[in-house]
Amino acid sequence: MSIEKPLSFDAIIAAAETLKGIARETPLLESALLNEQLGRRLLVKPECLQLTGSFKFRGAYNTLAGLPAAQRAQGVVAFSSGNHAQGVALAARMFDVPAVIIMPADAPRLKIDNTRSYGADVILYDRNTEDREAICRDLSESQGLTLVKPYDQVSVIAGQGTVGLEISQQCHAIGVTPNAVFVPCGGGGLTSGVATALSTASPETQVVGVEPSDFDDTVRSLDAGERLGVAAGGASACDALLSPMPGEITFPILQARDVRATSVTDDQAFQAMQVAYESLKLVAEPGGAVALAAALAPTFADYAGIDPTSTVVAVISGGNVDADMFARALLRAKQDG
C-alpha cells in the first residue's frame, strides 16, 4: 500500500472493461418535481438496480476475474452483512467456483436467503461473541479459499470505482458537470473508488461520503487526520454501513482525494427511502439511502461547501431491505412528513 499511489485511475478503467456486459450500467435518474421542490438538479445513480441489488457485485466480480484461474477454482470466502455476500456469491456462481460467506445471524432475512440462493455456503455467526475474521482465516487456510474483502482490497475498490466512471460519462452525455457526488460510506470502498474515478474524470466534482450518525467514523477520522473508531453503543437501521473504522487502504485514498464526509440520522434515511419510492419508484435500503438523505437536506451546502443551486448526484447503493422494514419506513416517513 502506498499513500502516494493508492489506486490508479487505470485500474478502474480496466475494471470497467472487465465488467462490460456482465454488470449492469445503471441509469442516471431524476424527477422534475423533486428538482423543483429542491431548487436544484438532483441526479440519482440507482445501484439498487445493479445485479444482486447493490453495487457490491462490481468489486466482487472484478476481484474474482483477477485471480489466477487455479486459485479461483479453489473457491472464495467473504464476510459481510449481506450486500458484499450476495455480490461474491453471484460472482462465484458466474465463474462456477465455490463460495463460503460468513454472515451475522441478525442480518436481514432477504440478504441471507438471497446469498444462499446464489449457491453460496452461508455460515452464520454471533456478532457479539464471535470473531468473523478468525472464522474466515481458518476457512481460508483449511480449505484453500481466497478471501474477498468487503472494501480494503484494491481490486474491490477498483470495481466499485466504476460507479464513479459511469457517473462522469453519463453526466458528460447530458452536458452536466456535477458539483458534488454523495456516496453511502461504510468501510469506504465505494467512496474511495468513486473519488479516484472522479478525481481524473471530473476533477471539479466534490465527493462526499455519507454515514449513519452513530457510525460516523469517517467524519471523525477525516477531521482528526487519522483513522478513528466509532463510539461504543451506537445503533442504526443502516445494516450495510456498520463498519467500525475506515479501511487501512480506503482511508488514505479519501484523504488524498479531498473527500468530505457527513452523517444523517436513521429518520433522514427513512425519509430518503420514501422520496426514492415516491419520486423515482425505486426501492432503497436504509444504508443505501443515506447519500440521498444528505443530498436532500436543506443544509447540505454548509458541510459540503457547495452552491445550493448546483447539480448534485446521489448514489443509492442498494435496495435489499425486508418488506416489514420498508413498509415501516414508508409509513413512518409519511407520519413525520
Per CB under 8 A, the segment of 45-53, 133-141, 226-234, 249-257 that binds a copy of itself is: 45-53
Is 289 one of the binding residues for a copy of itself (CB under 8 A)?
no
Is 299 one of the binding residues for a copy of itself (CB under 8 A)?
no
Of 203, 281, 305, 307, the one binding a copy of itself (CB under 8 A) is: 281
Is 280 one of the binding residues for a copy of itself (CB under 8 A)?
yes
If you search the block for the grid coordinates 455456503, which residue do you land on? 121
The amino acid that residue 179 corresponds to is N
| Nearest CA among 89, 102, 99 for reference residue 131 | 102
Is 319 one of the binding residues for a copy of itself (CB under 8 A)?
yes
Is 327 one of the binding residues for a copy of itself (CB under 8 A)?
yes
| Nearest CA among 102, 23, 9 for reference residue 61 | 23
8 A C-beta contact, residue 319 and residue 282: yes
Q: How far apart are CA 292 and CA 132, in angstroms?
A: 31
Task: Write out the H or E segment, with its range, that includes residue 334.
Answer: helix 323-336
Quick note: the x/- pattern for a copy of itself over 225-264, rule CB under 8 A, is ----------------------------------------
Report how many residues bind a copy of itself under the rule CB under 8 A.
Answer: 32
Q: Which residues contact 331 (CB under 8 A, 6 or more apart)?
A: none
CB atoms under 10 Å from CB of 10, counted, come to: 10
Is 57 one of the binding residues for a copy of itself (CB under 8 A)?
no
Determine the longest span between alpha carbons in the chain, in angstroms: 58
Judged by CB under 8 A, the chain residues 110 through 139 that form the site for a copy of itself are 110, 114, 117-118
Compute, in degrees rounded to 10, the torsion defined by CA atoms 15, 252, 136, 211: -90
For a copy of itself, the closer of residues 210 and 275 by Cβ is 275
Q: Which residues bind a copy of itself (CB under 8 A)?
A: 24, 27, 29, 32-33, 36, 46, 48-49, 51, 53, 90, 110, 114, 117-118, 274, 277-278, 280-284, 319, 323-324, 326-327, 330-331, 334
